[in-house]
Structure 1
Amino acid sequence: DFNIKYDPPKVYIADFKLFNKSVLPGEKSVLQKPIFETDKVVLSHRQNDISLQFVALHYSNPIKNKYAYRLEPFDESWRITTNQKEAFYPNLPPGEYHFQVKAASDKGVWNEEGAHLLIVILPPWWQTWWAYLLYLLLFFLGLYSLIRWRTKSLELEKMVLEEKVAERTSALNQSLENLKSTQSQLIHAEKMASLGELTAGIAHEIQNPLNFVNNFSEVNTELIDELIGERSKESAERDEGLEEGLLLDILANEKKINHHGRRAQGIVKNMLEHSRKGSGDKEQINLNALCDEYLRLAYHGIRARDKSFKAELKTHYTQDLPEIKVIPQEIGRVLLNVYNNAFQAVENIEKPVVSVTTRWRENLVEIETTDNGPGIPDEIIDKIFQPFFTTKPTGQGTGLGLSLSYDIVKAHGGT
């Protein structure tokens, strides 16, 4: 028996190409010696398009030689080829690669040792370890700067906040001090609003004398202009009779102006005396007369604001009602608030009616005011005497009218 031993073919890397161009060894080349004698090639990140040619030295039947190659870790398995004796690897990313190639003869005997080449593609500078170290240092430097900036910002914000807190505390203290004064002013404002209603109610009485004053003043202005024109003429052309007539007319008008001015002054004086009357002393009064007086004043007040408003006033006064001891100004303010609310409730009613009734019941005087308006909704009926509660639009009511009225009635022992 004969055992025939076939030797495997020797395999070599015959050529190394960059971008499909053969690389020759030299001082400025990536190859310092021929490729088949080279174990390692170092390339830049731009030299990432490579190809390698290989050859097997076995001549018994070279056409049937086989090759297997791979580039670790790029290739997961061996690539088998017969005719193609070149491996192409374009656009390789930076990294370390191990190229291996082995060959088999026509008898199928493989040269397992094969040929090897270590290929290193260097990363660009911004992907090197020292670049990453620089990035890390810059990151920590930026983080440190951010922390310092944030810390300083927080300290500054803290200082600003402390200043604002101090200012706010001071403002709150001032507001607290002003609150009592403001409350008093609001109460005073509500009282003045009541006075305003009274003023509107009697303003029509002042309008007539003021109209007379204005009219006679205009006439006198015309007469004086005419008199000045007459006196500017030459002595021979002047009409003394006309001048005397003009002076008499001016004098008569001045007397009328004075008369109607005093009339207006008297009305204002009476109004001021009426407004100053509430000194805190109680007086015996006829409540029917007080109710009727303020009903008329409230009605004239709303008519002064809206000439088109008309309402039917109904009164049912108990004639044998005894006089009672109250502060007239205070009770008048209560009546004015109640009447104003009644008139405002019927402003949009086709035929508005406001009724006032007085009764004597169990040693108490009862005043009842009714209207044919929509009424007070159940959900707010319990709130109408709360200070500052109002259903009027913003700026049209303080919400103190009924609250003050409630306090006044309670102070008089009423409910």
Structure 2
Amino acid sequence: MSFKDRWRPLAKDGLLAVAMAVLLSFIVSIGTRHAGVPDYAAVLAGSLALAAWRRGPLVALAVSTACMLVLAVRVEPGPAAAYPVMVSVFAAARAGHRVAAALASAVYLGTDLALNLPDIDGSVRELQDTTLLIGWFVAAKVAGTVTRHRQAYLEEAERRAAEAERTREEASRRRASEERLRIARELHDSLTHSISVIKVQAGVAVHLARKRGEEVPPALLAIQEASGDATRELRATLEVLRDAGRPDAEAAASGLDRLDDLVERARSAGLPVEVTIRGTRRPLPTEVDRAAYRIVQESLTNVSRHAGGAAAAVRVDYADRELIVQVDDDGTADPDAPPVPGTGLLGMRERVAELGGRLRAEPRPEGGFTVRAELPLEALPAVREQEPA
């Protein structure tokens, strides 16, 4: 709640108290000739007590009733003296103090009736005024009770709405968890078997080649190593899907600590790769570390697929507040005909956007393609916009 929202009710209550004090002072000044300082003091105290009708309804009720009784006994200002008491009765009933509201009403009305009955000439008129006051007091108490019930109804409706929203969120999380388990089962039943077969067959081929004394082809060794890494990463992914709520669920995922293995696999597959590290290598936030690794991995994969015979240069800059990852190749990409973004590039953009970073992926003016990601190492207040590709 803002400062303005907190002080707005206080300002309204203060304005009500001041208006009531001005009104009663005017009525007392023109209606009675013997009003003195104590009478105006009673008017002021009884009216200003209304400033606390929200936060202290019983205090406002007691002070206004006592002060208005003093005023009624001393100068008999008429029904106007009951105005602060009626407001306080409404406030007490609204707060649930029905007995106190009824007691204050009975005391004030009884005193007013006792003061007016001895006046034989004006008894009928005074009794009419007292009857009118009784109706006003009853209306004030009923209005306070109705307001209380309405407020309780609104609070109950809000509570039920919040409970329904919480239930929907829990149902949504449960459906998401069930979907993750289903995906994990599908991946395990399909990819794990296929990758395991590839790994076993590559291992058998390597074993037979060495047994016969033949040179093992580098591509075969790369397949064997890549299948092993794929199995490890798939197991880590399945663990994440099955237990996403555990804090260290993604601890086994790849990061820049496996950059050397990634580069060696690319080289064994025939892709020349140079790596440049700037700054001091240090532990990174898990999300940043994983995103950087995936960006390099996807970039090298794209170079192998689309840049045919090109060489790649990987640069990692450890800055104070961000990590910069850049992969350049000297392929045949044309700046005038940029490639259509595929799933891999879209995935990189999503990773960078989640971290509040920036990604630039486009052909280079001198030829080839560049991918540059700037990943903040600290939480940002808002996600920065990505540069257009």
Would you call these one fold, judging by a TM-score over 0.5?
no
Indicate the structure (1 or 2) with the bigger Cα radius of gyration.
1
Judging by fraction of residues, say which structure has more helix.
2
TM-score normalized with structure 2 length: 0.30
TM-score normalized with structure 1 length: 0.28
Judging by fraction of residues, say which structure has more strand.
1
